[in-house]
A and B are shown apart, each in its own frame.
Chain A
């Protein structure tokens, strides 16, 4: 009997807590409504906006290290009070963060989807609460786009296209076998870049044959290991080139080639990013070409796009897309100031 009480006690306590908190929530709603009207009347005096930025990375990754400060700088300039979260690419965690953001009733939500397929409930909840959502870095799937006010960031499919165009231009009409190293499995950016590259190769240079493609976790170390295994599987003499989904992966693949005692410059290698790791490889001739991606542009424009929504520049139903310029970086322009690496 005593144990039954022990079991039922938490349930009863939770039920009681739920009832009490229901009252609190109702009271809070009233308070918020009152506060809201106060804010409306003083909007002309001080226009500050509360915005949640639901990101899958932050200072824990190289890209986020430069993305977040640019985002915060733009927010400070435009009078936006940002609350930034980092789900570490866990879709469930980001969904929970979205619930928190919606409950906080901010003026807007900037969403960088951790998992593209999982954001529909978040978008629906925000729409139901009347909170505008803009998307950054990785765009939504077509079916979900109507639930957002806009997208700013790289044209991830276009980046794959640009990398393939560099490859096709280098190869010309020569038949070449290549291996392909993609980003993390399931990642929207990895999938888009993969599609952009393979579609363009098939259309522009069918003489390039993709012997094998494998996923990585975006890191140099894993890429080196995966590339080494692919080289062993296909035979070093059968491979004439490599496509890597980003510069870290390319650096790993180049290290794997050099470990076999071959010169990387003798191979057709392209990637995406133009990072601190990739740019010197282009200048050295190991990497034939990459595609410039600016993390600061990305962070800055995420905030500016939301500001445009908040100030009414972009109305509901007028989805605006702001693509980052995808500049091809090869030995000819790798040292130019306008494509200096940022991350």
Chain B
């Protein structure tokens, strides 16, 4: 009898639906996939141009998603990096300024080095000094913005090799521009790192329970440094791409990137407290947001209305989280029980 029961449970767990349920229970992208499907359906019906001009849509997804991918590495550990928007601006300014005086390769290297330095400083304050990452990176956000203005002399820096910039914006592989290709390469690289490499897998452990991670012998501080370096370097790459593709580096650039990146990560099912989430989720979040933005732009919907749409989707993503639903359900149950008890008296 006992053997029969064991066999039954075992067969369910290893069967298709058992595996499917098991995967669903472990993954955090479920809501993101549902939201993506809803948005894709809405867009298909209302603005099919979003799909027919897919290279434009992919470009918008890459614009939003690139910074969000790097940011996710930090979010998985329960930290925040608000400085990504300014890192993007200052790295673009450095890349073009140095490129104008030397060549593009040195400009790119200088900008990447700036991204590494910024992330090391961020990680130092967070991991070594122990400052809350929100505060540490907020300070860096302002400092870097000021630095971008100082380096650029408060004006956009024009790329002297304009032809290079124009060429960089052209399709390289089929209809895919270098921006889109770099975006997917970075996605694959970070996804492999977070899912296949031991150091990357430990990000979730650090975010889930930091003390337990310490106790398990995980080098938490080193992981925090790694996460911030990924975030900073990816933001720097985004800044370089923007500057080269636009043929100029604007010290004010990135003003709308920060919130869009966080929105993509949250829609993708990443928990801001860390420990749960995935790079694939962020990709789906960025794709949902990018498609929606392109559809609304084509429709001529004004910014305040667009913000209502995006805010609504963010809210849906947050409140449909199972733990939030359980909390709401628990709260409602308590309230109704209280009312019931009062009426009974």
Q: Which residues of A contact B (CB under 8 A)?
A: 3-4, 6-7, 10-11, 14, 17-18, 21-22, 24-25, 28, 58-60, 82-86, 88-93, 95-97, 99-100, 103-104, 115-118, 120-121, 124-125, 184-186, 191, 215
Contacts and interface: CB of A to CB of B under 8 A. Distances in A.
Given A10-B280, A103-B49, A121-B165, A60 B252 contact: no
A92 B242 contact: yes
A88 B54 contact: no
Interface of B: 49, 51-56, 59-60, 63, 149, 152, 154-158, 162, 165-166, 169, 174-176, 184, 187-188, 191-192, 195-196, 242, 245-248, 250-257, 280, 283, 294, 297-300, 302-304
Nearest to A87: B256
Contacts of B155: 185-186, 191
Helix, strand, loop or mixed for chain A's interface? helix
B250 to A, nearest CB: 5
A14 B156 CA distance: 35
13 contacts: A10-B187, A21-B54, A83-B298, A83-B300, A100-B297, A103-B55, A115-B248, A120-B162, A120-B165, A121-B166, A125-B169, A185-B251, A191-B155
A121 B247 contact: yes
When A and B form their complex, which 8 residue pairs have the shortest distance between CB atoms, in order from nearest? A103-B53, A117-B248, A185-B154, A83-B300, A117-B156, A118-B246, A28-B52, A21-B54
B156 A96 contact: no
A340 B24 CA distance: 64
Contacts of B280: 6, 10
Given A104-B49, A186-B152, A191-B155, A85 B255 contact: no
A184 B242 CA distance: 21
B51 A21 contact: yes
Contacts of A14: 184
Contacts of A28: 52
B302 A59 contact: yes
Contacts of B165: 120-121
Contacts, number: 148
Contact of B298 (A58, A88, A100, A115): A100
Contacts of A11: 184, 188
Contacts of A184: 252
A90 B188 CA distance: 28
Given A4-B196, A117-B250, A186-B155, A96 B59 contact: yes
Nearest to A54: B297
A92 B253 contact: yes
B187 to A, nearest CB: 8
Contacts of B252: 89-91, 115, 184-186
B248 A99 contact: no
A24 B54 CA distance: 10
Contact of A7 (B49, B56, B166, B191): B191
A234 to B, nearest CB: 20
B250 A88 contact: no
A60 B302 CA distance: 9
A117 B250 CA distance: 8
A22 B162 contact: no
Given A3-B196, A84-B302, A96 B251 contact: no
Given A58-B303, A100-B298, A115-B156, A25 B250 contact: no
B18 to A, nearest CB: 15
